[in-house]
Chains A and B, each alone.
Chain A
Amino acid sequence: EAQVTQNPRYLITVTGKKLTVTCSQNMNHEYMSWYRQDPGLGLRQIYYSMNVEVTDKGDVPEGYKVSRKEKRNFPLILESPSPNQTSLYFCASSSFVGNTIYFGEGSWLTVV
């Protein structure tokens, strides 16, 4: 089954404790991206990747890092999480930029 898989789905963590949200897709897609969704602000892009070793900032990259060492994986790293990073995070992929995009199920992150 074609899918985008995120882990963890739910996490409560403390300020400053590094965490990684993993994202994996099994569709051999070149394009992957991360979004955060906040009430009243909709979905905003954090980072995207056009292919392996090619990443770029989206609209709200501050406080986040990403890497794309393999085509299927695109982890989101919060080096020192802060409460304003409490949000619902989505990973997404498409075969190439501008094509039909598929989302993971979302990761609910709370930073206290």
Chain B
Amino acid sequence: GIQVEQSPPDLILQEGANSTLRCNFSDSVNNLQWFHQNPWGQLINLFYIPSGTKQNGRLSATTVATERYSLLYISSSQTTDSGVYFCAVGNDMRFGAGTRLTVKP
């Protein structure tokens, strides 16, 4: 099956800093999504982005399908951005191990 790798595994930021999270995958996919799991365990869909670039407020994502990676950008981070960020790929939604983000005030 498809292998999904996320980096970095952990990230600690000061409030206001920017960050880039990466998702690499081992095969061509026509489905890639980014999720945020908040400290209470809820999984929120951030982007459906099999290719191209999308933006939603302070968050944006870019997927370069031909090179098998996707990037999630968080600008001007806030403490509420803390949690774990997952990417999932393929029709069976295979998840990476996640990036745990901690934003300190």
Contact = CB atoms under 8 A, between A and B. Distances in A.
B48 A99 contact: yes
B43 A100 contact: no
A42 B95 contact: yes
A102 B96 CA distance: 17
Contacts of B96: 42
B92 A43 contact: no
Give the most central of A44, A59, A103, A108: most B CB within 10 Å. Answer: A103
Contact of A103 (B1, B45, B94, B97): B45
B57 interface: no
A101 B93 contact: yes
Interface string B71-105: 00000000000000010100111111110000000
A97 interface: yes
Dominant secondary structure at the A interface = strand
A33 interface: yes
B48 A48 contact: no
Nearest to A96: B91
Given A42-B86, A42-B98, A43-B86, A33 B42 contact: no
A90 interface: yes
A30 interface: no
Contact of A100 (B33, B42, B86, B92): B33
Nearest to B84: A42
Contacts of A90: 43
Interface centre among B30, B91, B93, B94 (most CB of A within 10 A): B93
A58 B91 CA distance: 12
Interface of B: 1, 30-31, 33, 35, 41-45, 48, 86, 88, 91-98
Given A45-B92, A102-B45, A105-B42, 12 more contacts: A45-B94, A58-B92, A90-B43, A97-B91, A98-B30, A98-B31, A98-B91, A99-B31, A103-B35, A103-B44, A103-B45, A108-B41
